[in-house]
Structure 1
Amino acid sequence: MSGGRAPQMQGAVARSPFPPIASFALLSDCHTGALVAPDGAIAWLCPPRFDAPSVFATILDRQAGYFRFGPFDVNAPSARAYEPGTNVLVTTWKTPTGWAEVRDALTILPRSEPDSTTPHTRAPTDDDAAHCLVRTVTCLDGHVEMELLCEPVFDYGRIEADWDAVDLLTATASGGGIALRLRSDLPLGVQGGHVRARHTLRAGERAFCSLSWADDLAGPATFDEAEGELDTTVAYWRDWLADATIPDHPWREALERSALTIKGLTYMPTGATVAALTTSLPETPGGERNWDYRYNWIRDSSFTVQALHYLDLDWEADEFVEFLAGLEANDDGSLQIMYGIDGRRDLTETTLDHLTGYRGARPVRIGNGAFAQRQNDLYGAVLDAILMHARRSQRVPRTLWPVIRSQAECAAAAWREPDQGIWEARGEPQHYVSSKIMCWVALDRASKLAQLVGADDETTRWRGVADEIAADILAEGVSERGVLRQHYGTDALDASALLAAIYGFLPPDDERLRATVLAIADELTADGFVLRYRTEETDDGLSGREGTFLICSFWLVSALTIIGEGARAHALMEKLLRIASPLGLLAEELDTETGQHLGNFPQAFSHLALIEAARRIIMIERLLEFS
């Protein structure tokens, strides 16, 4: 059935209130991801890849697809945790009659043949996505009545599933050009648009279900096979994390979870990283600041490469740089501000008006119209990433020199022009100071890269342009009180000015840098957490307030460390770590009035900034230990 909103179905849909954003758990197979609600329902899943249409989307509309495997009529678990060092979730349930434990994962298995579901454009690794969600349950004590309820609604809740019962334990759902194969050792009953099973497990008894979207719809057919695939997935994540170098520090757990989250948001076939798993989770409760983040933002590149190299995840860093090198440029040689995870350029934005949105926040958007904006900061992000990677690998690949040259020349041509700024404001273009700083970064890094390859003419010319940009910023971008402005012609503060410290635009002992960092810390915060800017002072083309931005708060930690305010930086870092979700995940924003996470979830940039801030503090601590 297709066209329009799927009809209202009775008895099988989620009618509960929307859970808090921070209460969801992330599952990933590095091709797509799922969010698991506290009640055990899959609230978000887009097979076979991150940016595909959803089949389960109760996080955006309580009628838009639902898949629960848990105790009947019990919705609050006793405990939820990841198996240590993994993205495999374990949920423990206490019912009036017993105890049960459910394990959930998007499975990753040894690769036996090329992936035809989501083909690789990079060299495939030894392990790859099985394109299957596997769920097992074990009754630990007493007896527990388990329920399986699977109700996909394809194409973002627009197409009801057409079910076909293969046998008593297998059924196939199809719609919107995709098929799902459900298997279980519980007898399945097909009822209209959903499949249901109920069975009472006694102490020691076990059951499973699996949902496959692989081309051949392969998946485990028995509990032992399901458990084996979960164990193999656990081994994959732990082996991967073992290759990372995580400091022996009280923040180790947060760093490990951030590393696992960033890896979980990486699209293995190309090396691209999505900004977040979701679309349209609101930045303003009930408001219009709802965006699709399932794409790769070029400005994330320097933080991504830096974090990966800091953790000694050099393979992932190399894959990401190769993704950057292969992107199709605009006619003038510049890169877009964002691309699809397959490198596509057209991310035309549309709205899904049939969905209610998370807690009524509308519109729900897919695609992102900001892809066509001019944002002059991206040149610096790309070239900073390439310089870091070149220094780490001790080489500048031949394929990267054209990218270096084109981005440097674009920055040299564009730095005098206004743009939409790092925050993608939808108001009038301005001469944003952070954009000018990032153009300086572009020419500064380009000149150093040119020096590495012996291109003397470019070294001198690009250094000269960098010096010209710096002089212009210090002449026009500093207020009378010696603080970096948001943009020329205003004295408004903007958290992006903290990039002046992080990228080394000004030395740590420069009074203008110190004044800027302290002004942001004291005047652009709510309960100690940093706002991007004051919405009443900034024409961003939107209405409504927004929460504090976690990335900006981590930037402040880094900046405070750089200017020597170590104690203040450490205290803010500890405060930030305390507001992570119960599973260690971070959204984009925090509403300090309610303590609720806001925006798409989990947010890669927040976790990247966490790693950057922790790196700086830990480095200082280590130096002090040996001084």
Structure 2
Amino acid sequence: MKLALIGNCAYQALIDDRARVRWLCWPRFDSSFVFGNLLDEEKGGIFSVEPAAPPSQIQQEYLANTNILRTVFRTGEDLFEVLDFAPRFAQYERFYKPTMLIRRIRPLAGGPVVRVRCRPVYDYGRLQLEPTMASNHIYWKPPGSELRLTTNVPLTFVLEERPFLLEADAYLVLTWGRPLEAPLEETCDKFLRRTRRYWETWVRHGVVPDRFQRPVIRSALALKLHQYEDTGAITAATTTSLPEYPGSGRNWDYRFCWLRDACFTLGALRRIGQFEEMERFVTYLLNIAEQSPERLQPVYGISGESRLDERILDHLAGYEGNRPVRIGNDAYRQLQNDVYGEMIAALAPLFLDVRFQDLASTHSTSLLERLLARIEQTMEVPDSGPWEKRGPSRIHTFSLLMHWTGACAAARIGERCGNRRLAEWGRRLGARARDLIEKRCWRPDRGHYADSVETDDADAALLMMVNLGYLDPSHPHAETHVRALGERLRADHHLLYRYLQDDGLGETKASFTVCGFWYAEALARLGRVDEAEEVFRKLCGHANHVGLLSEDIDPETGRLWGNFPQAYSHVGLINAAFAISPVAGPIV
């Protein structure tokens, strides 16, 4: 997947290594695509900048420590670059983040001849929009809004897709809704400077490990773009319906907020010293908790929508011909009881970190107690487990692990805040969860904890028993558990399957990227640092040309599959990097 992610926490776009916008949903993460030829070459529209003659060389990279993308084309002696970015910077005590894509085309050598093509669509390709030329722009009319391309390129050349000699910087500004009404060149250059400064400052104010700094920074920048800042929701991935494996039919819409994924994303961002994302997510969580007083769903829409009914878009060909294309996700219907412990973990810094205690409102305290009550109520209630299998409900070990995690966090909060009742309640529930895990989930004949109280199967999510501190490295089960899971689930030396048993959806063929990082992290926490580093480096070797990872990796070809980029994969990379190479102390 030679795709690069840009965005500004209001929208995301994927641009391929030929400077084609392959994915852009407006005005929100979960809206219809405006450009979506990732899922259908004919119906997905096009927005490309390309040399008139076939290029002899193309290079693509991010400007260091930013989400600004640079693509350089060479054709013989002719050379030009395309800079793509979504404006984001501080303005009037808030962040300016318009639904605006800026593309700057700059000649670098010779006399490059360039062609621009811009054909947006809407309603997932059902609406082929008609362009209208105005005095200095072209506009299209999707339902309820306006798309406008403001440019200093002759409009006729754009409409007719006619090649032109690039003699000076050319600017293409595509907007949804409010157009750019300011001096074109001056405004674009100013937005570029301010956006670059914003990302460089955001990175500089974070924490990085002693080694592996570049992959950690790129992962952090990708995670940042998965928060829909308006509401605080954190999405699982940018795309929908990129299959886990060719022909598998496992094509899901990941443009929603899985509470579990969001919790671990926040943990990774806190690890690198970024906290504003947590503050925004807590607001999102408080809002969905108010509308869901009885139970939390595993996944919600980015506005907090509770219904995410799946629909199949039969008119789209699918990624490389892989159908179906789905929008919506029926996982919202499932029962996944681990979410209560994860949400306590997400809230915990409000109570345990003095820098955020002013944010611990009456609402968050009440929610904390409601979450702990739900842990007590659901401790032995069967659920679907973390992998959303379509089989029978069981009491899953991972859910018990997260019950333990949340209960222990609540106990710490009670101790810190002088709330004896909360502390004792948390300790009691933590002990109960541990007792269930030890008595009903450990399989001495297999050397690992099983995926549920009534089955014997291996589950890669249980590598988190070490990573979350449930199993201390000195625990007699710790190393045998990690080794046994690694052996049973290994697809390759460094690639692991999530599980091997039938999940009601067919055979599992692709390895799950984050599982390999969980394994590397667990090895490092057991003191097997050299082995962990070898696994980590091989996994990082699967990242694409700009350092991004998808959900799945084909163990036979090493090719990336699944939705892209996958937040969970980059969370795993960050956590494993810090486990292998902690933050360096001061030199003096």
Question: By how many angstroms is 1:185 displaced?
Answer: 1.4
* Deviation sequence 1:594-624 (CA, Å, 0-9, x none): 11111111111111121111122222x8589
Match of 2:326 in 1: 365
Match of 1:208 in 2: 171
Alignment of 1:13-52 (within 5 A): 21=1, 23-52=2-31
CA contact (8 A) 1:305 1:389 kept: no
CA contact (8 A) 2:352 2:416 kept: no
CA contact (8 A) 2:17 2:58 kept: no
Q: Matches of 1:44 and 1:446 in 2, distance apart?
A: 42
Q: Select between 172-181 and 329-338 the one with higher mean Cα deviation.
A: 329-338
Within the alignment, does 1:433 sit opposite 2:397 as a pair? Answer: yes
Counterpart amino acid of residue 427 in structure 1: G
Question: By how many angstroms is 1:374 displaced?
Answer: 0.3
> Quick one: structure 1 residues 384 and 591, their matched pair in 2 at CA, closer, same or farther if it must change by over 3 Å?
same
Match of 2:61 in 1: 81
Match of 1:322 in 2: 283
Question: By how many angstroms is 1:392 displaced?
Answer: 2.5
CA contact (8 A) 2:450 2:459 kept: yes
Question: By how many angstroms is 1:330 displaced?
Answer: 6.2
Match of 1:487 in 2: 452
> Quick one: structure 1 residues 618 and 219, their matched pair in 2 at CA, closer, same or farther if it must change by over 3 Å?
farther
The DSSP-based 3-state class of the residue aligned with 2:553 is strand
Q: Matches of 1:81 and 1:587 in 2, distance apart?
A: 18
Within the alignment, does 1:549 sit opposite 2:529 as a pair? Answer: no
CA contact (8 A) 2:278 2:346 kept: no
Match of 1:378 in 2: 339
Counterpart amino acid of residue 41 in structure 1: R
Q: Matches of 1:401 and 1:461 in 2, distance apart?
A: 15
* Deviation sequence 1:98-149 (CA, Å, 0-9, x none): 111111111225536xxxxxxxxxxxx5332122111111111111111110
Alignment of 1:289-368 (within 5 A): 289-329=250-290, 333-368=294-329
The DSSP-based 3-state class of the residue aligned with 1:230 is helix
Question: By how many angstroms is 1:363 displaced?
Answer: 1.1
The DSSP-based 3-state class of the residue aligned with 2:530 is helix
* Deviation sequence 1:135-180 (CA, Å, 0-9, x none): 111111111111110011101111110221112x411011233321
Counterpart amino acid of residue 200 in structure 2: R
Match of 1:116 in 2: none
> Quick one: structure 1 residues 220 and 368, their matched pair in 2 at CA, closer, same or farther if it must change by over 3 Å?
farther
Q: Matches of 1:254 and 1:392 in 2, distance apart?
A: 28
The DSSP-based 3-state class of the residue aligned with 1:254 is helix
Match of 1:184 among 151, 161, 179: 151
The DSSP-based 3-state class of the residue aligned with 1:100 is strand
CA contact (8 A) 1:430 1:488 kept: yes
CA contact (8 A) 1:139 1:201 kept: yes
The DSSP-based 3-state class of the residue aligned with 1:529 is coil
Alignment of 1:413-432 (within 5 A): 413-432=377-396
Counterpart amino acid of residue 617 in structure 1: I
Match of 1:11 in 2: none
> Quick one: structure 1 residues 110 and 499, their matched pair in 2 at CA, closer, same or farther if it must change by over 3 Å?
closer
Within the alignment, does 1:502 sit opposite 2:467 as a pair? Answer: yes
> Quick one: structure 1 residues 329 and 335, their matched pair in 2 at CA, closer, same or farther if it must change by over 3 Å?
farther
Q: Which runs of 5+ in 2 are unaligned?
A: none
> Quick one: structure 1 residues 554 and 622, their matched pair in 2 at CA, closer, same or farther if it must change by over 3 Å?
same
Q: Select between 302-311 and 402-411 the one with higher mean Cα deviation.
A: 302-311
Question: By how many angstroms is 1:89 displaced?
Answer: 0.6
Alignment of 1:566-585 (within 5 A): 566-585=529-548
Match of 1:478 in 2: 442
Counterpart amino acid of residue 285 in structure 1: P
The DSSP-based 3-state class of the residue aligned with 1:107 is coil
The DSSP-based 3-state class of the residue aligned with 1:359 is coil
Q: Matches of 2:129 and 2:157 in 1, distance apart?
A: 11
* Deviation sequence 1:383-437 (CA, Å, 0-9, x none): 1222244323363443211111111111111121111111111222122211121
**TM-score, scaled to structure 1:** 0.88
Question: By how many angstroms is 1:36 displaced?
Answer: 0.4
> Quick one: structure 1 residues 68 and 50, their matched pair in 2 at CA, closer, same or farther if it must change by over 3 Å?
same
Counterpart amino acid of residue 24 in structure 1: L
Q: Select between 51-60 and 422-431 the one with higher mean Cα deviation.
A: 422-431
Q: Matches of 1:319 and 1:405 in 2, distance apart?
A: 21
Q: Matches of 1:299 and 1:460 in 2, distance apart?
A: 26
Counterpart amino acid of residue 534 in structure 2: A
Within the alignment, does 1:164 sit opposite 2:125 as a pair? Answer: no
Question: By how many angstroms is 1:530 displaced?
Answer: 3.8
Question: By how many angstroms is 1:297 displaced?
Answer: 1.1
> What do you get for the CA RMSD once the two structures are aligned?
2.2
Match of 1:15 in 2: none
> Quick one: structure 1 residues 388 and 127, their matched pair in 2 at CA, closer, same or farther if it must change by over 3 Å?
closer
Q: Matches of 2:47 and 2:279 in 1, distance apart?
A: 37
Q: Matches of 1:464 and 1:534 in 2, distance apart?
A: 31
Percentage of pairs with the same residue: 32
Q: Matches of 1:231 and 1:108 in 2, distance apart?
A: 10
> Quick one: structure 1 residues 280 and 41, their matched pair in 2 at CA, closer, same or farther if it must change by over 3 Å?
same
Question: By how many angstroms is 1:229 displaced?
Answer: 2.2
Counterpart amino acid of residue 292 in structure 1: D
CA contact (8 A) 2:152 2:172 kept: yes
> Quick one: structure 1 residues 357 and 594, their matched pair in 2 at CA, closer, same or farther if it must change by over 3 Å?
same
Match of 1:222 among 168, 179, 184: 184
Q: Select between 74-83 and 577-586 the one with higher mean Cα deviation.
A: 74-83
Match of 2:429 among 454, 465, 474: 465
Q: Select between 310-319 and 420-429 the one with higher mean Cα deviation.
A: 310-319
> Quick one: structure 1 residues 415 and 77, their matched pair in 2 at CA, closer, same or farther if it must change by over 3 Å?
farther
Match of 1:524 in 2: 489
> Quick one: structure 1 residues 526 and 218, their matched pair in 2 at CA, closer, same or farther if it must change by over 3 Å?
same
CA contact (8 A) 1:51 1:294 kept: yes
Match of 1:100 in 2: 80
Q: Select between 327-336 and 359-368 the one with higher mean Cα deviation.
A: 327-336
Q: Matches of 1:128 and 1:229 in 2, distance apart?
A: 10
Q: Matches of 1:404 and 1:233 in 2, distance apart?
A: 37
CA contact (8 A) 1:165 1:190 kept: no
CA contact (8 A) 1:529 1:549 kept: no
**TM-score, scaled to structure 2:** 0.94
CA contact (8 A) 2:10 2:98 kept: no
Counterpart amino acid of residue 28 in structure 1: G
Q: Matches of 1:373 and 1:589 in 2, distance apart?
A: 23
The DSSP-based 3-state class of the residue aligned with 2:343 is helix
Match of 1:70 in 2: 50
Counterpart amino acid of residue 22 in structure 2: A
Alignment of 1:552-567 (within 5 A): 552-567=515-530
Q: Matches of 2:278 and 2:468 in 1, distance apart?
A: 19
Q: Matches of 2:270 and 2:422 in 1, distance apart?
A: 27
Q: Matches of 2:56 and 2:172 in 1, distance apart?
A: 21
The DSSP-based 3-state class of the residue aligned with 1:347 is coil
Q: Select between 253-262 and 473-482 the one with higher mean Cα deviation.
A: 473-482
Match of 1:277 in 2: 238
CA contact (8 A) 1:302 1:381 kept: yes
> Quick one: structure 1 residues 29 and 553, their matched pair in 2 at CA, closer, same or farther if it must change by over 3 Å?
same
Within the alignment, does 1:175 sit opposite 2:172 as a pair? Answer: no
